[in-house]
Amino acid sequence: MSTATAGRRSPAARSALAEARATHRAIGRTFWLASRLLPRGVRDDVHLLYLVLRTLDDAVDDRRPGARQIVEGVELWAATGQATTREALLMKDLATRYAIDRGVVADFCAGMHDDLSGRVLTTEEQLDTYCYRVAGTVGVLMIAFLGSSDAEAARRPAIALGQAMQRTNILRDIDEDVAAGRMYLATETVERFGSIRPGERAALLTDQIARADALYDEGIAGIAYLSSGRRAIGAAAAMYREILRQIERDGLGTHPGRAVVPLSRKARAAFGVQRQLRPAP
């Protein structure tokens, strides 16, 4: 499908656009930086998509009243095309300009239900499924926004890149999640390595970082299939991957807390990955 123009957006989309830009900039700082490299024709629509997905994710994570209803509103649109909530109306608007796979949106909603139910992830396979639902799906949706020379070939790398980023989130936020009574690592893996406590989790983190790095390698190799936005996606991948390197620099969980990557390191990572991107096939 052709890219969007502001005049073609629905009233719901036009009224949400300023909030979408502000939300993306304030909360998704790494992705906001990368989004500056997106083609102008799709940049605001990516902000709108981010607003929808972030609204669902925040409502679920914070256990806000009506969180389930917010998720179910998008789920209803994915199943029937009927839009009764703001988020569903925004997805309906985006679907007039992009070939959005509504089954993939339903998969994202399934990930939100995993969080609402407090599902415990036992195996690495279950963790991979969860990471696909809440992040790999976003990679697939981005194919629709950016186009592809081979959408089928692009799908698996796009999923892998989303999974890599979600695994990175999990490793970065271990202590915050434990404090909130949550854990997203596979319990079998934690039991095998013995502990997630600071100072006792170096072997666990080494294993998990290796799994994430393998997914980044797969995902970055597939960026070549995108018709546009390759520099933006490459930058996002490199900047997010740098969190893993920061965890290593910080001593693999020797001390509690979140790994924070300085902006200068993000910029170097984003610049460096551009030379690794293969030309489109």
- Looking at per-residue pLDDT, the higher value among 1 and 49 belongs to 49
Name the nearest CA neighbour of 216 among 185, 247, 244.
244
Does the pLDDT value for residue 25 go beyond 70? yes
- What is the per-residue pLDDT for 269? 86
Domain with 65, as residue range(s), is 11-99
Q: Which two tokens stand for residue 176?
A: 């915050």
5, part of any domain: no
223, part of any domain: yes
- What is the per-residue pLDDT for 196? 96
Could you tell me if 89 and 10 are in contact, meaning their C-beta atoms sit under 8 angstroms apart?
yes
Name the domain count of the chain. 2
93, part of any domain: yes
Mean pLDDT is lowest, of 7-21, 76-90, 139-153, for 7-21
Do 140 and 93 lie in one domain? The reply is no
Radius of gyration of the chain (CA): 18
- What is the per-residue pLDDT for 41? 86
- How far from chain centre, in Å, is Cα 52? 12
Residue 64 φ/ψ, nearest 5 degrees: -70, 150
Do 124 and 81 lie in one domain? The reply is no
Do 86 and 149 lie in one domain? The reply is no
Do 138 and 67 lie in one domain? The reply is no
Do 136 and 61 lie in one domain? The reply is no
Mean pLDDT is lowest, of 25-34, 182-191, 248-257, 271-280, for 271-280
- What is the per-residue pLDDT for 3? 41
- The type of residue at 226 is L
Do 139 and 87 lie in one domain? The reply is no
Phi-psi region of 38 (alpha: psi -120 to 50; beta: other; left: phi over 0): beta
107, part of any domain: no
| Interval 57-83 mean pLDDT | 96
- What is the per-residue pLDDT for 5? 43
Q: Which two tokens stand for residue 42?
A: 């799709």
254, part of any domain: yes
Could you tell me if 247 and 259 are in contact, meaning their C-beta atoms sit under 8 angstroms apart?
yes
Do 174 and 127 lie in one domain? The reply is yes
Among 35, 65, 99, give the residue marking a domain's end: 99
- Written as one string, the DSSP assignment of the chain is -PPP-GGGS-HHHHHHHHHHHHHHHHH-HHHHHHHTTS-HHHHHHHHHHHHHHHHHHHHHHTT-TTHHHHHHHHHHHHHHS---SHHHHHHHHHHTTS---HHHHHHHHHHHHHHHHTPPP-SHHHHHHHHIIIIIHHHHHHHHHH-BS-HHHHHHHHHHHHHHHHHHHHHHTHHHHHHTT---S-HHHHHHH---STTS-HHHHHHHHHHHHHHHHHHHHGGGGBSS-HHHHHHHHHHHHHHHHHHHHTTSSSS-S-----HHHHHHHHHHHHTTPPPP-
Give the global pTM: 0.93
Among 99, 130, 155, give the residue marking a domain's end: 99
Predicted confidence band at 244 (pLDDT cuts at 50, 70, 90)?
very high
CATH number at residue 242: 1.10.600.10
Q: Which two tokens stand for residue 203?
A: 């072997």
245, part of any domain: yes
- What is the per-residue pLDDT for 6? 43
115, part of any domain: no
Do 134 and 77 lie in one domain? The reply is no
| Interval 57-79 mean pLDDT | 96
Contacts of 34 (CB under 8 A, 6+ apart): 232, 233, 235, 236, 239, 270
Do 221 and 266 lie in one domain? The reply is yes
Report the interhelical angle of 202-221 vs 230-249 (nearest 10°): 170
| Interval 266-277 mean pLDDT | 77
Does the pLDDT value for residue 14 go beyond 70? yes
Do 95 and 125 lie in one domain? The reply is no
Mean pLDDT is lowest, of 63-77, 212-226, 262-276, for 262-276
Average pLDDT for the chain = 93
Predicted confidence band at 270 (pLDDT cuts at 50, 70, 90)?
confident
16, part of any domain: yes
Does the pLDDT value for residue 7 go beyond 80? no
- What is the per-residue pLDDT for 8? 86
| Interval 83-108 mean pLDDT | 97
Predicted confidence band at 259 (pLDDT cuts at 50, 70, 90)?
very high
- Looking at per-residue pLDDT, the higher value among 267 and 129 belongs to 129
| Interval 195-224 mean pLDDT | 97
- What is the per-residue pLDDT for 279? 59
Do 133 and 77 lie in one domain? The reply is no
Do 128 and 248 lie in one domain? The reply is yes
Could you tell me if 188 and 123 are in contact, meaning their C-beta atoms sit under 8 angstroms apart?
yes
